[in-house]
Structures are given as C-alpha cells and as structure tokens.
Structure 1
Amino acid sequence: MSAVPIKQLDMTLHLLNHPLYLSGLGLEDLETCERVFASSNTAAVLIRHASYFHWMQFLDLHFDQWDADRYAELSRFLYNNYVQALQIIQTNIPVLDEFKRQQNLTDADFVNWRNEEHDYLGRVAAEPSLDAISVAYVEQLEKLRFAEATYGSITSVPFLTYTPADFTRTSGLNAGARDCSKAFETEHASTLRRYELQLNVVEDFERRHGITERWSMHHPEYVQAVSYSQERQFIRSVEELEGLVVRRLFELSKANLAGTGYKMRKYISKAITRRSATIRTALEKYNKLAPLQNPPRPVLDYSEVVGYASLGEFSLLKYSRHDILTKPWSIPANREMAVKYFKLVRSHEEIIRLNVEIKRLQSWVEHEDQNILEAINSLFADDPNSLLIDELKAFYAKRCRINNNHRKLLQKIYVLDGYTGEHPSQTLDLDPVMLDEDGNEEGNLEYHEDDAVNEEAVRLEDLVSRLTL
C-alpha cells in the first residue's frame, strides 16, 4: 500500500525558489511580468469588441507607451533601489552583529538553519508508508470491533417472548407480532452480513500487508497508531484553518482592489462574512485537539489567527510528533534574524548589479544625445529640406529632456553615502535645442510648465498622432 500524503503546502519548494534565498537575485521580487500584463488589462475595455486589426493596434500602442514610461522612470528606479539596498545594509549589519555576538553565531549558522529546515520539511512532506498502513489497519479494526459489538447486542437475546395476546384463535401470531418477528430476523441477518463483510476486509488487509497476528487494543503498535491518528487529525485541522485564513486574506485584498465593481465587492463581502464563520468553526476544532498533543500546542484566539500572514507561522504548529521545538530555526527570534541576514546578502548583490546598470545608463544618455545631434547634422548636410530633420528635432527635444532628468538622478546616486560604483569622468547637461537652417543650435527651448505636465502632454500627443494613422 502506498503512503497516504498529508495535505499541505510544499514548503520545500517555497524555501528553494523564494527570491530571498536565490543567490545572485538581489532584491528582485520576480513580479515584473505580472505588472506588465496587469497593466495591459486597461486596454481590454477598449479592444474586447474591436476587430483583429484594431486589437493588435491598441496592444502595440499600449506596449509602446509602456516602454516609453519605463525608460523615463529608469533612473528613478535605480535611485530608489540603491537607497533601499543601502538602508537595509545600514540597518541590518549592527543588529546582526549584536545578535551574533550574544548568541555566539556566525554567518554560516544562518545558512545551515535554512538547509536544516529544507531537509526537515522534505522529510515530513509525505506521510511515512508504515504510519499510513498502521492507521488504515487500526481504522479497519475499529470498524470490525463496532460491527462485532452490534452483532453481539442483537444475539444477546436468545429467544423472543410472546404473550397469549400475541396469538389469534385460528392463524397463530397476530400481524403485529409477526411484523416484530420479521423485523428482528431482518436486523439480525443484516448485522451478521455487515460483520462478516468487515471481517473479510480485515483478513484481506492482513493478508496483503503480511500481518500474522491481529492487534488487540493493548498491542503496542495499536496504541502507537492510535496516538499517531490523533495527531494526524490535528495536522489536518491546522491545514484546514490555514487554508481558510489564506483565502480570507486574498478576499480582503480583492475587496479593496481598484477596478473591482460594486457587485463583485458585494459578493466578496458576503464571502468574507461566511469565511469568518467557517474560520471560527475550524478554530474551535483546533483548540479542542491542541491540548491533547505531545507537547501541547497553544490554544489560539480568533484575532490572533486572522493575523497570520506567512506559511511558516502555520507550519510550526503542525508537526508535534517531531521534535521541532528544539530546532534553532523554529525559534521566532532566530527566524527573524535569518531573514535579516538573507536580506543583507541580497542587498549586497543588488548593489553590485546596480553599479553595472548605473554605468550603462550613464553611457547611454551621453551617447544617445550626441548620436541624435550627429544624425541631424548629417541629414542637414545631405539635404537641408529633408522632412526627417524636423522629426529628429522633435524627437531630440523630448529625448534630451528625459535624459537630463536621468543625469540629475544619476548625480544624486553618485553622492549617496555608501555608493561604491564608478564616477563618470565628465557629464553633460544638455537642454532641448532646435537647429537653425544651417544646422547650428538656435537656442535653448524654454519650458515654463511643470516637467511632469510636459511629459504627460508629450505622451498624449504621441498617442493621438499614432491613433490617427
């Protein structure tokens, strides 16, 4: 008989693939694709009934605008990530140093804790086959004992008692007595069939699993299996409670999500109310079983349970038959410090990657402006009346303004306390310019409006011009 797996979330995959534990990933949350496709949902309202051509056209326009927006925000993204990484480093290093000094730990201990937790959860991810067989055998024995007790209660009366009133003058027993006798015989035969059927099931189970001696209630393996069965029920109650709380968290987040219609919010609100009642029922079941565990598990309050947000808070409740409470990685303070350590490691990796990307962006903005100006001068030299010159002038005006914003934010990165990358030897701060008929710079364009308003106006103009094509 194969092992019966206990229903649970696979925490081993969580530990293996979580961004916090993947070397070289930095502070990446791996949700870029989700953000991209979530943003494309805004175009669904426009194209749901459109022709195939317009469907493709609107999606192309959307992702063109997405690319332009991301480029305009690139330096801000790098700056924010650099500040975030530096803050984590500056905050976590003194806390971790003090903790390691008090507990006499090293960085290797945090890594070992994570590996031990992974190995442990891998061992308990599936129910051992011997335990599953023992529990199944005990369940069949209990059914047999119940069927035997039921049959014994039926056969404990050796004969039926009749009074003269139960007989008629001509035809023996009257109708009421005959019906009672038939009911007794039917019940007796039915109980006997159930007992014989369950006896055959037990004998077949013993034959298939090589059990030569039937376990009594005082048999050591029977007692051990009953104890494990009780713990098994407890684990299932924890998993049921965990699933309800996680679904409730998803519903709460969905209820406040922008773009959710009134009817959907009303439906979700009713679902949350029903879920809360179900959680209370599951919590009562858990609290009844918790004190019976070895060691006893904590009795939980409703307000405490609905505040659980991580899988780890539930997983530590489950495995009472394993000596999990003695593991250093199961102690909340140690787990918190381990998270800080891995965030610190990922932050150092993030700094290394940001130094590369900052240098690439700096080189790009410097060369792009020069290349566009050279292209304009080259076109003007070949054909002063070329219409492409005006297009390049407009493109240069928009692009140079964005690149100047990049230069300003890159300068803010260079002066950060903790910046470890290269400093550029020379940076240009170009203003958007127009060229006169001779191809020379005519003068700076004056932009009296707010930069953000200008950028939005340029994006809108670009979008409208493409829609009219």
Structure 2
Amino acid sequence: VVGAMHGYVHDQVCQLLFLMLYSVGVRLEDGEGYEWYFNVSNALAPATHYQSAFHCRQSISEFIYYKDLEMYSNISKFVYGNYTQALSIIRTKDVHCKGMLEAGINSPDVFYKWLIEEGKYLRSLTQTLPKESLEMLYYQKLVALQKCQEQLQNAHQSKHQHEQENELKLLADVQALEEKLGISKRWVDGCEEWELAKRSVREANYCRALDKLKWWLVAKMFEMARLNIAGTGMCILMSPFIACF
C-alpha cells in the first residue's frame, strides 16, 4: 500500500492498485506517519551538520522532546477533526445516495467494479501494438535519415565524416526495420504510409504531453489540499478589499 504522502499520479496503474485512497478498509487515513515525522525532522540538518557529536545529540533530543509535547497538545485537535469529518460524511450520506440513484448507480459495489475495469484498461495501455510502434519508429528513423542527408550536403569538410557515420547508422536501422515490417518499397515523404505514421507520432507526442500536464495539475491540487491553501484564490477575489476596486 502506498501512503498519501508518497505522491499522486506518478504512475496511474500503481496509484489505482496501491494508493491508500483506493484501498478497501483504509478509509480516509493518509498513512506513512513515520515519513511525516522524519520530513519535519529534516529541519535539524542545517543546524547539526557542523556540530560536535555531543551538541548534535543534544539538539536531536531537544527536538524530539519538543515534538512530543507539541503532538500531545495536538491530539485533541486531531481527534476533534476526525470526529467532525465523520459527522460531515454521515450528514451528507443521503445526498450522495440520492445523487448515485439519479446517476443510475444502485450500489457502492459499482465503484469497485469501475476501479477494476480502469485497472485492466490502464494495464492494456502499457504496451502499444508491436506493428504500430515499429511503424512509428520506422517513420522517425526515416525523418532523421532525411535530415542527416540534408546536413551532409551542406556540411563542411571537418563535419563530413561525422555526418557520414550518422547516415550509415540510420541506414542500418532503417533497413532492419524494413526487414521486420516486410517493407519492400521504402516510404517517401507524401505517401499514404508516411502520412499515417506521421499522424500516429503526433498523436503519441500529444498524449504524452497531456499526461505530463495532467500529472502536474493533479499533483499541485493535492499538494495545495495538504497545505490547506486550496481555494484561497477565490477567497481573495471575494474579499472586501479586492471588491472595492
């Protein structure tokens, strides 16, 4: 099981299968209590880096003693927060049940079924079709070979040998891919196969960029939620001071 502090959407399949948010029976626990504690203790590093062994142990002991007192004083706040959160969940249960019925969801088991289906779908995306991936790679090698040949024509004598070596490597890769794909006639710019592979490469690059953007947005949203600053932008806009302008 991966705790909530471990990160979000660094790998969608890993998150879906092991993140505590989706684990049955874990409920709203974040987990990784020790990691939270040691994350706070990182503040000791600059102070103890150049201290003697005695003063280093003294600083660590004082820090632990202070944190024990602080945690003990915050226990009541922690219990109260969990209690109010549980009451809020119970209070909104009927509203959520009504919304589920309106959406055609008759049982909470449907959500677990969706998780299983999503996991199967994501695992099926881990590998692209062999022929499709080879065709995309073949197109990319052809484009690289075309650019290399153009540079070879305009290259100076000092760079001529280097460009020739690159051309030979790319030619070997292209010929190996042609043999695997059974291509008898080499693709050229403008042919149907070239355009289809070009479109596939563009779509693949777009999907990768979209996945990176989604990863960044969701990660920032959860980080803001953990720092209790999510939604502060709207509060600032609605403040009386801003409303005067």
Scaled to the shorter chain, the TM-score interval is 0.5 to 0.7
What residue in structure 2 maps to residue 340 of structure 1?
none
What residue in structure 1 maps to residue 11 of structure 2?
10
CA distance in 1, matches of 2:11, 2:69: 40
What residue in structure 1 maps to residue 236 of structure 2?
none
What residue in structure 2 maps to residue 95 of structure 1?
95
CA distance in 1, matches of 2:87, 2:185: 67
Task: Summarize the Cα distance change of 1:97–1:42 in structure 2 as closer, same or farther, 3 Å threshold.
Answer: same
Amino acid at match of 2:204: R
Task: Summarize the Cα distance change of 1:221–1:107 in structure 2 as closer, same or farther, 3 Å threshold.
Answer: farther
Give the CA deviation at 1:134: 0.8
Match status 1:232 vs 2:233: no
Show CA shifts across 1:391-432 (max 9, x none): xxxxxxxxxxxxxxxxxxxxxxxxxxxxxxxxxxxxxxxxxx
Q: 1:214 aligns with which of 185, 201, 213?
A: 185
Show CA shifts across 1:79-119 (max 9, x none): 3212211212221x122211222122121211111222222
Task: Summarize the Cα distance change of 1:201–1:60 in structure 2 as closer, same or farther, 3 Å threshold.
Answer: closer
The 5-angstrom pairing of residues 38-437 of structure 1 reads 38-44=39-45, 46-91=47-92, 93-105=93-105, 106-142=107-143, 197=168, 201-207=173-179, 209=180, 211-214=182-185, 216=187, 222-239=194-211, 241-242=213-214, 249=220
Match status 1:26 vs 2:43: no
Amino acid at match of 1:94: D
Task: Summarize the Cα distance change of 1:205–1:126 in structure 2 as closer, same or farther, 3 Å threshold.
Answer: closer
User: RCO higher in 1 or 2 (8 Å CA, sep ≥ 6)?
Assistant: 1
Q: Secondary structure at the match of 1:133?
A: helix
CA distance in 1, matches of 2:217, 2:40: 28
CA distance in 2, matches of 1:28, 1:13: 18
Amino acid at match of 1:109: V
Give the CA deviation at 1:62: 2.3
CA distance in 2, matches of 1:50, 1:143: 56
Q: Normalised by the size of structure 2, how large is the TM-score?
A: 0.64
Task: Summarize the Cα distance change of 1:132–1:24 in structure 2 as closer, same or farther, 3 Å threshold.
Answer: same
Contact 1:19–1:25 (8 Å) recurs in 2: yes
Contact 2:134–2:181 (8 Å) recurs in 1: no
Give the CA deviation at 1:68: 3.7
Task: Summarize the Cα distance change of 1:210–1:125 in structure 2 as closer, same or farther, 3 Å threshold.
Answer: closer
Task: Summarize the Cα distance change of 1:95–1:213 in structure 2 as closer, same or farther, 3 Å threshold.
Answer: farther
CA distance in 2, matches of 1:41, 1:145: 53
Contact 1:15–1:21 (8 Å) recurs in 2: yes
CA distance in 2, matches of 1:117, 1:109: 12
Show CA shifts across 1:317-346 (max 9, x none): xxxxxxxxxxxxxxxxxxxxxxxxxxxxxx
Q: Secondary structure at the match of 1:24?
A: coil
Task: Summarize the Cα distance change of 1:62–1:221 in structure 2 as closer, same or farther, 3 Å threshold.
Answer: same
Q: Structure 2: which 5+ runs fail to align?
A: 1-8, 228-245
Task: Summarize the Cα distance change of 1:241–1:101 in structure 2 as closer, same or farther, 3 Å threshold.
Answer: closer
CA distance in 1, matches of 2:99, 2:186: 53
Task: Summarize the Cα distance change of 1:44–1:140 in structure 2 as closer, same or farther, 3 Å threshold.
Answer: closer
Q: CA RMSD in A?
A: 4.0
Contact 1:19–1:29 (8 Å) recurs in 2: yes
CA distance in 2, matches of 1:81, 1:18: 20
Q: Secondary structure at the match of 2:24?
A: coil
Give the CA deviation at 1:241: 4.2
CA distance in 1, matches of 2:21, 2:172: 54
Q: Structure 1: which 5+ runs fail to align?
A: 1-7, 155-182, 257-469
Percent identity of paired positions between Structure 1 and Structure 2: 26
Contact 1:10–1:125 (8 Å) recurs in 2: no
Aligned length: 205
Contact 1:215–1:222 (8 Å) recurs in 2: no
Task: Summarize the Cα distance change of 1:34–1:56 in structure 2 as closer, same or farther, 3 Å threshold.
Answer: same
Give the CA deviation at 1:231: 0.5
Task: Summarize the Cα distance change of 1:203–1:27 in structure 2 as closer, same or farther, 3 Å threshold.
Answer: closer
Task: Summarize the Cα distance change of 1:138–1:112 in structure 2 as closer, same or farther, 3 Å threshold.
Answer: same
Q: Secondary structure at the match of 1:203?
A: helix
Contact 2:131–2:181 (8 Å) recurs in 1: no
Show CA shifts across 1:443-466 (max 9, x none): xxxxxxxxxxxxxxxxxxxxxxxx
